[in-house]
Structure 1
Amino acid sequence: MNKGLFQKLLPHLIAFVVFLVVAVIYCKPALQGEVVNQSDVTHWKGSIQQSIEYKETHGQYPLWTNALFSGMPAFQIGYPANNHIPWYTHAILTLGLPKPIQFFFLACICFYFLCQAIRINPYLSIFGALSFAYATYNPIIIAVGHETKMWSIAYMPALLGSILLIYDRKYWIGAGLTALFTSVLLAMNHPQIDYYFFLVVAIMTIFFIVRWIRQKEMGHLLKALSFTLVAGIIGVLVNAVTIFSTYEYQKETIRGGHSDLVKAEKGDAETGLAKDYAFDYSMEKAEPLVMLFPRMYGGSSDKNEKAEDSKAVEAIQSLPPQLQQQLPLTFYWGGIGYTSGPPYVGAIVCFLAILGMFVLDSKHKWWIFTAIVLSILMSWGKFFESFNTVLYNVLPLYNKFRAPSMILVIPQLLLPVLAVLSLEKIAFTENQKELWLNIKKGLIATGAIVVLALLLYMSFDFLSNNDKEILKQVAASNQPQISQYLHTFFDGLKEDRKSLMLGDIFRSLGFMAVAFGLIYLLLKKSIKPVMAFAGFAVLGLIDLMPIDSKYLNADNYQEPTENESAFQKTQIDETILADKSYYRVFNVAGNAFTENITSYHYNSIGGYHAVKLRIYQDLIEKQLSKQQLNLPVLNMLNTKYLIQKDANGLTQNYQRNDSAMGAAWFVKNIRYVPSPMEEMNALDNFNPKDTAVIQEQYKSRVGNTPTTFAGDGTINLLKNDNDVITYESNSSSNGFGVFSEIFYDAGWKAYIDDKETPIAKVNYVLRGITIPAGKHNIRFSFEPPAYLMGHKITSIFSILMILLLASGIFMEWKNRKPNPKVS
């Protein structure tokens, strides 16, 4: 190999090896064949198993699944998409590495690319990449199974770097990569992370536009925006099959608007989540400081953050056994309510970012600062309601998302960028006199933040709202002995929380002091820049890894067989599954609407998904969550078996329900009601075998038929093939048929003898059609128009993206500068 070329490639090869080695060491059990026990992934496996089995026989996933919620579109679970290029790219970049190694490696590679796009020293880029990839939020979400979120976070820097290439006049290659990484980011299918990222891009672009206008670079402005816009559109439309389907689907879900049964609260958006729900998981105003002091608010809700010398544990052990089981031993006490851990970015990264605000020029720091400040304000959610309500009402699509605290992924991305820019400026600036003046200002700012943390430490009461509510209830109960017990416990818990906060303040202060020591040695020429950068990389890992390991460590791994144990069939399952008729089951043990284990083997009327159909959520809240089961509703949902699962997900008992209505039936009466509320209330006491309840707005779909029928005849299910369901009806007179399938107007079509017939919404969630006398073939076909259109558009724009990327590579090759000849 050419020696000059090897020298150029060497830093990148070193970076590649470092990223791989660190990920392998941290995730060592993965190389031994173990897998992370991720609760969300386990439940996802339950929801998609039916689709996987379908694919094995049909060659592709279905568009509709019967496995959960009595049936729903599979657009958010797994379905046949043709956006292949993003997934091929993803496969190449992850090198086929096992999870979770691939998550950390991918995040490092993408951030390293961003650093190279903005011309950061390769060895310094290693420090930035490691800091981004191992920020504590990443192992936390990996541990619980938020894989699509982690992939989306990992790809943010790659797309940011691609856009910055365009803004740096590398138009063609930047556009090609922008289109590619836009398509990959969207393919990961976490719209909320995508939304936050594009908000940052908008802020950055506004700052660049102002800069170009001031410098009178109008030609460059037009070129940069044109290339970025075209590339972005191409990248987006490569995923049209996903985006169009999701957009169409969300309009019928809890994200699309309020229930017709509940009057919207004042201030709620007409479409989207209710404001109170959207602002769930908001942060207290001081809480974003956990990016610098990780356990300032106690750390995690379900981890013992004080394994040794815990005053709360000591206190709880002295309490009566009945109280020990009732008291919440949770160290987290912030505004989110429940969290698996803090979004700690790293003391060293935060310190360097603060210095950067004083040592850097204005090219990047002000747009980064603006984006970080906005992210913090938005993370406050309900704790800064006046500001965030304006955003909720004004920002397009913002009211579709909840958990404002999630937006701190943006500082997690931008603080390391600011850190590496700052460190490079410090390392390679010749005018040290001015530099030292600016560093001193940064030290003063850092000191002010530490002082602020100490003042907060002295002013906090270290009690969550839930803690205060418990103490208030006990005080009102007039039970002095129990009150004394609780005060003893909470006094111990407060001491633990105070100890965690104060310990982390001094911990972070120590790391910042060591980081400043490295900077001092670097400026005094005592160490070379490469050695300083290596030192920062090692020091950064020493800072982050101990915190990371509290939330993702060897205890999170298990053998694959153990990981699949929740899906093992018991003898009870074998007995039920021997019934080959078409039916559904209902898990009556625990909450059937927070688990998908049942859906692995059965068609369940329960399930868990963040984007449920609105009408089915209404049914859950009004009928299926009652303490006493509403048997007629269970019957109309064809619930043939009531099962009981234990805490491990294994079926322990069952009861057969012989009154389940089956797949379809003729009714004798139609009862029209004027409103959704009356339709829901009618389900409180009705006989689904005899009566169908229909809103008057669907009367035209029933046709000019009487409201009473003979009710005789049969409707037999021939085959339910997920996307296509066929029946055979036979009756001596015209009738109205009710089908125990969920009504979804954006895709299902009904045909009688191949002639389309309208579908009415029946019994709030089911389908019904008018059926003429005689013997007929009936077919329901799932043909969502948005999916069909999106599939075609994806094919077209995939070709355009290949052409754009090829053009970018060609133009980069064409414009390369030849090496000067050496005499």
Structure 2
Amino acid sequence: MDKNKVKFFLPHIVAVVVFLVLAVIFYQPLFNGYVVEQGDVKQHVGMSKEIVDYRVTHDGQEPLWTNSMFGGMPAYQVSVIHQDNWTYHLDKAMKLGLPRPIAILFWTMLGFYIFALCLRINPWLSIVGAVAFGFSTINILYIGAGHMSKVNAISYIAPAVGGYILAFRGKALLGGAIFALFFSLQVTANHLQMTYYLAFLLVAIAISETIRIALKKDWKKLVIAYGILAASGILAILPSASNLVTTQEYSKHTTRGASELTIKPKGQESSSIDENGLNKSYILEYNYGQREILSAAFPNVKGGAQQYLVNNKDAVKIITKDSKYSEYSDYLLNDNPQKGPMFVTYFGGQAASGGAFYFGIIIIVFGLLGFVFVRDSLRWPFLFILVLSALLASNDPDGINAFFIEQFPMYNKFRDSKMILVLAQLILPAMALLFLNGLISQKVVESEKSEAKSLLLLNDGKIIFGVCTGLAVYYGKDKNLIRALMLVSTIILGWGVIIYLSLWLMIPKDKNEAIQKSEELHGDRKWWFVGLMSMVFGIVVLYLFPSFSGAFLSPQEAQMFATNSNTPADQVDLINGLKNSLVDIRIDLFRADISRGLVLIILSSILFLLMAWRKVTHLVFIGIFFALVTYDNLSVAKRYFNNDPIDETVNTEQETKMIDEYMAKGYLDGIKADKMLAKYEYEELTTIPKALPTSSDSSILNREKSQIKNFEVLKSDFLSKMDNSHIYKQIKSEKTREMIATFATLNLNSNYRVLSFGNPFNETNTSYFHKSIGGYHGAKLKRYQEVIEHRISAEMEMLQSEQKMITEQKNIAIQELQRTLPPNLPEKYVVLNMLNTRYLSFNPGSVALKNKGANGNAWFVGQIKKVETANDEMNVLGKLNSKKEAVLNIKDFADLGKVLLTTYDVDSSCTVQMTSYDVNSITYESNSKVEAPAIFSEIYYPEGWNCYIDGEKTDKIFRANYILRGALVPAGKHKIEWKFEPKSFSSGSVISKFGSISLFLLVLSSFLVVIFKSIKSQKIS
């Protein structure tokens, strides 16, 4: 092969190999019988179970609705595969069959590498920036939490931005193709919050590039760039139309949308829902406190991950080895909440923290220097977005946060807005690479002639004045101005001495001395040296005065210690000593981070200066710099996610017992891995539910399956199709397959709801086996959430109080109560009854109570209570006899409100019976002597649910009882069928297919044109 071709392809091949090797090493246990233990993924198993089972029995057909949780909701944001989006299939292919965490981490690095190449940065240097970007802890933390779509979306941000910039910089066709491809992948990743923040950066870059090109008056270039980028952007979005249109439609009805209620739940001050989206406190709950942004450079500035001191090895080491903590060690390392408070490492402003968003101290220092010295106009939009992201990451409810939440379009639809720091994660390594790339490209030039004289070194004051005079003459500035600046910097910043000494050593003594300069950077190597020394000085100051980073107690801890200071005098010294010790430990941990950072910066500075003075080649420089950056970022990433076994001090008895139980009952054939790891779980556990069916679940199964015709035949059919599912085909245990098929058959052929007490609105175990009143989702239907807060929670409290009173009066255990007293919930339990809550599970280990008071699947009512506001709807709902009455908001259903009477001659002979259940359709038979309103115990959703009576679509449907479906049914016997037929999905799918074809044609043709032009130019040359 031609040497030039080898030279061209070699860094790209090395880059791919390096990224793949690093990703595989970081998640190496994935090849040894483990999977990453991800909380959100475990929750998703339960919430998506009905959807997965439906695909099995319907040959891969997509269910667009699920009744598995919260009474029922669209499946769009749970698990819908948009088959007509070809970019989805491309994304899947690009994962190369690797375990998903490895594949996504690999693409975060490769994506940034493509971005750096678009900025025309040295390919070898680009590898360094890619590793820094990939191992920024944002990626590692969110992969560990199971937010895979979020990190997948992050992985495509960098190459999309790279193509976008390239299109403005003379490569419009190639840049447009790269932008279109990766922006489409980014949108397909389906994390709209990341796409929203990406738009901030794209707009800032567009403004900056427009100004740059306009100043050159190159209007043709600007028009071409905008034309290609506009077409690329549109075609990039179109493949995701089926998802975007349904999501946009759905979002209006979720907790992210506007609320019509102005009343608050009784006993509650506020809700997480605001009138026009999420409220301020909910959005900022996980944002940074004061100066917590410093954790990007020093992870322990606010304690890092939230864990007890007793579980933090570094903290334990400090406490046990330093005698000054001996008096308080028992309190500081307390591992029993019954004995007293358990102190934690984290003390920042977030409600909780899994770890700091660390970008790398080396990258940050050189990135900040880039803003000072890089000539590229990109520094201005990058600087603006960097500052903006830092400000918006704070939890200050006033100022800029208030403006964005209250005024900026869509901003209040997303919580945890500190995620905007993903833009800083991109910008800082980009600026660092631009700066270092300028260093590598520097060349020797002659300095301008100067009348500078040798500086006088006489005594004290004359030294300073001599330097100032020399600087004034050398740089052609007024010496009094130089003196003033030097004096101010010395007094206020304390940096003057270092700047003075640095410049004193480096100012040329010979007027024609040769110096190094770069066309890509401002200044020369003496200024770069000054910049580095200033950074070092700043870090040293932070080490000497750690209080500059803020307080070392959280507001809650400060309040706790202040309260306890009023205790008896003999305890005050102990409390104050404990408080001071806690502060000192946190300072020690912080200083350890600073020391680590200082060493890395000094080493990289020495390397930088050797390169600046041409003492090492650029390849040697990049090689050593790569080692330093890789160590820097990986060592912190390993703090939050590592392959270490579970510490012996951690109680693993419960997990061991669970595995033993699974194996004893035949749900596991064995465990391939040999030991428990802290951040992983055994691969075999992913093939079974988060918890085995309990006695409560089994009791419901035994009661309900007898009502299903041909249950065993249906189960056998499901078993035969399980291998068609990529989720189920890997299950080896026959016992597990049998259990899954049994509950799948039950769930797909029955329609009742279960309320599990405990924490019903933050768990999906119930949804795995039944249709749940509760569930877990970040974007549930708004009206259902309001009913939870205003009614269901209150009814649960009443029910628990009554059950407790009965058990105390009769002196029987709750287990015995569930066996002997099946309840008939009275009408005061309006919502639980109307939601057809057939079973109540107080104790998973006991038989579930069957609620004979549940209204059933559908019923006729004889009275309609008409109201005009959401407030009235909610108030009337609490006093409703839901078996005989219904409430209708005539403001929302004005035409039907005129048709519906307030009373109907309905009696027990008027019936509605469910005859068949399907996720996307439910069929009923009605029999009534009069026309009357029927209420269906299904969640009302206006975007797609249509009602057919004897095959004819009826428009006489309405929302009843705040959240249920209602229809006016004619007299006589009729077949009623509700079908979920969202036009948004069907029309969106057509657009997706058209967009996919257009996108792939654009990208392919663009790359072919670029390749053809390249070959043609090579032949000419």
For the aligned pair, the TM-score class normalised by the smaller chain equals: over 0.9
Matches within 5 A, 1:587-666: 587-626=755-794, 627-629=797-799, 631-644=829-842, 654-666=848-860
Name whichever of 585-594 and 406-415 sits farther off.
585-594
Name whichever of 208-217 and 786-795 sits farther off.
786-795
Alignment-mate amino acid for residue 948 of structure 2: Y
Quote the residue 1:309 is aligned against: 317
- What displacement does 1:112 show? 0.8
1:566 alignment partner, SS class: coil
Distance 1:757 1:172 in 2: 51
Which stretches in structure 1 are left out of the alignment for 5+ residues? none
Distance 1:320 1:287 in 2: 27
Alignment-mate amino acid for residue 297 of structure 1: K
Aligned residues: 815
1:257 alignment partner, SS class: coil
- What displacement does 1:449 show? 4.0
CA deviations 1:322-377 (Å, max 9, x no partner) are 544x6353221112221111000001101111221233113322221111111111
Distance 1:565 1:475 in 2: 49
What TM-score comes out, normalization by structure 1 length? Answer: 0.93
**CA 1:822–1:215 in structure 2 vs 1: closer, same or farther (change >3 Å)?**
closer
Distance 1:517 1:586 in 2: 66
Alignment-mate amino acid for residue 558 of structure 1: E
- What displacement does 1:805 show? 1.1
Contact 1:259 1:618 in 2 (8 A): no
- What displacement does 1:222 show? 0.9
- What displacement does 1:465 show? 2.3
- What displacement does 1:572 show? 3.7
Distance 2:971 2:570 in 1: 75
Distance 1:539 1:322 in 2: 42
1:413 aligns with 2:610: no
**CA 1:423–1:84 in structure 2 vs 1: closer, same or farther (change >3 Å)?**
same
Contact 2:864 2:901 in 1 (8 A): no
2:640 pairs with 551, 556, 565, which one? 551
Which stretches in structure 2 are left out of the alignment for 5+ residues? 320-324, 445-515, 518-522, 644-677, 708-749, 800-827
- What displacement does 1:821 show? 7.4
1:669 pairs with 860, 863, 877, which one? 863
Distance 2:125 2:700 in 1: 61
Distance 2:762 2:894 in 1: 35
Contact 2:333 2:343 in 1 (8 A): no
1:701 aligns with 2:715: no
What TM-score comes out, normalization by structure 2 length? Answer: 0.76
Quote the residue 1:168 is aligned against: 169
Contact 1:172 1:807 in 2 (8 A): no
Contact 1:711 1:735 in 2 (8 A): no
Quote the residue 2:698 is aligned against: 574
Q: How well do the aligned residues superpose, as a CA RMSD in angstroms?
A: 2.7
Distance 1:298 1:19 in 2: 30
Contact 1:354 1:442 in 2 (8 A): no
Distance 2:119 2:992 in 1: 31
- What displacement does 1:684 show? 2.9
- What displacement does 1:491 show? 3.7
2:914 pairs with 699, 711, 717, which one? 717
Quote the residue 1:273 is aligned against: 278
Alignment-mate amino acid for residue 272 of structure 1: G
- What displacement does 1:483 show? 7.4
Distance 1:636 1:704 in 2: 21
- What displacement does 1:276 show? 3.1
Alignment-mate amino acid for residue 906 of structure 2: A
Distance 2:86 2:997 in 1: 10
Quote the residue 2:668 is aligned against: none
1:670 alignment partner, SS class: strand
Quote the residue 1:524 is aligned against: 613
Alignment-mate amino acid for residue 53 of structure 2: E
Distance 2:595 2:226 in 1: 46
2:690 alignment partner, SS class: helix
1:792 aligns with 2:990: yes
Contact 1:583 1:640 in 2 (8 A): no
Quote the residue 1:450 is aligned against: 539
- What displacement does 1:170 show? 1.8
- What displacement does 1:291 show? 0.8
Quote the residue 2:945 is aligned against: 748
- What displacement does 1:270 show? 5.6
> Which protein shows a greater Rg?
2
Distance 2:98 2:142 in 1: 18
Matches within 5 A, 1:109-508: 109-262=110-263, 271-302=276-307, 304-305=311-312, 306-309=314-317, 311=319, 314-316=329-331, 323-324=338-339, 327-382=341-396, 385-431=398-444, 432=516, 434-447=523-536, 449-450=538-539, 453-454=542-543, 457-459=546-548, 460-471=550-561, 474=564, 489-508=578-597
Quote the residue 2:923 is aligned against: 726
1:736 pairs with 897, 911, 933, which one? 933
**CA 1:487–1:614 in structure 2 vs 1: closer, same or farther (change >3 Å)?**
farther
Alignment-mate amino acid for residue 404 of structure 1: S
Alignment-mate amino acid for residue 5 of structure 2: L
Alignment-mate amino acid for residue 15 of structure 1: A
2:966 alignment partner, SS class: strand
Contact 1:667 1:709 in 2 (8 A): no
**CA 1:196–1:773 in structure 2 vs 1: closer, same or farther (change >3 Å)?**
same
Contact 1:283 1:380 in 2 (8 A): yes
Distance 1:645 1:162 in 2: 57
**CA 1:452–1:397 in structure 2 vs 1: closer, same or farther (change >3 Å)?**
farther
1:119 alignment partner, SS class: coil
Quote the residue 1:66 is aligned against: 67
Distance 2:426 2:944 in 1: 39
**CA 1:810–1:502 in structure 2 vs 1: closer, same or farther (change >3 Å)?**
same
- What displacement does 1:246 show? 0.6
**CA 1:597–1:588 in structure 2 vs 1: closer, same or farther (change >3 Å)?**
closer
Contact 1:663 1:739 in 2 (8 A): yes
Distance 2:556 2:847 in 1: 36
1:308 alignment partner, SS class: helix
Distance 1:20 1:210 in 2: 40
**CA 1:485–1:53 in structure 2 vs 1: closer, same or farther (change >3 Å)?**
farther
CA deviations 1:30-53 (Å, max 9, x no partner) are 111310110011101211111011
Distance 1:97 1:318 in 2: 41
Name whichever of 805-814 and 212-221 sits farther off.
805-814
Quote the residue 2:54 is aligned against: 54
**CA 1:482–1:606 in structure 2 vs 1: closer, same or farther (change >3 Å)?**
farther
Sequence identity, in percent?
A: 32
Contact 1:30 1:99 in 2 (8 A): no
CA deviations 1:143-186 (Å, max 9, x no partner) are 11111111011110110111122112222222222222121101
Alignment-mate amino acid for residue 544 of structure 1: N
CA deviations 1:569-589 (Å, max 9, x no partner) are 234423322313634444444
Alignment-mate amino acid for residue 574 of structure 1: S
Distance 2:1019 2:390 in 1: 53
CA deviations 1:528-554 (Å, max 9, x no partner) are 211221212221121122211121122
Quote the residue 1:515 is aligned against: 604
Name whichever of 433-442 and 143-152 sits farther off.
433-442
Quote the residue 1:102 is aligned against: 103
Q: Which has the higher contact order (CA 8 A, sep 6+)?
A: 1
1:180 alignment partner, SS class: helix
- What displacement does 1:456 show? 6.3
**CA 1:364–1:35 in structure 2 vs 1: closer, same or farther (change >3 Å)?**
same
CA deviations 1:171-209 (Å, max 9, x no partner) are 222222222212110111111111111101111111111
**CA 1:452–1:658 in structure 2 vs 1: closer, same or farther (change >3 Å)?**
farther
Distance 2:354 2:110 in 1: 26
Contact 1:749 1:781 in 2 (8 A): yes
- What displacement does 1:396 show? 2.0
**CA 1:718–1:486 in structure 2 vs 1: closer, same or farther (change >3 Å)?**
farther
Alignment-mate amino acid for residue 86 of structure 2: I
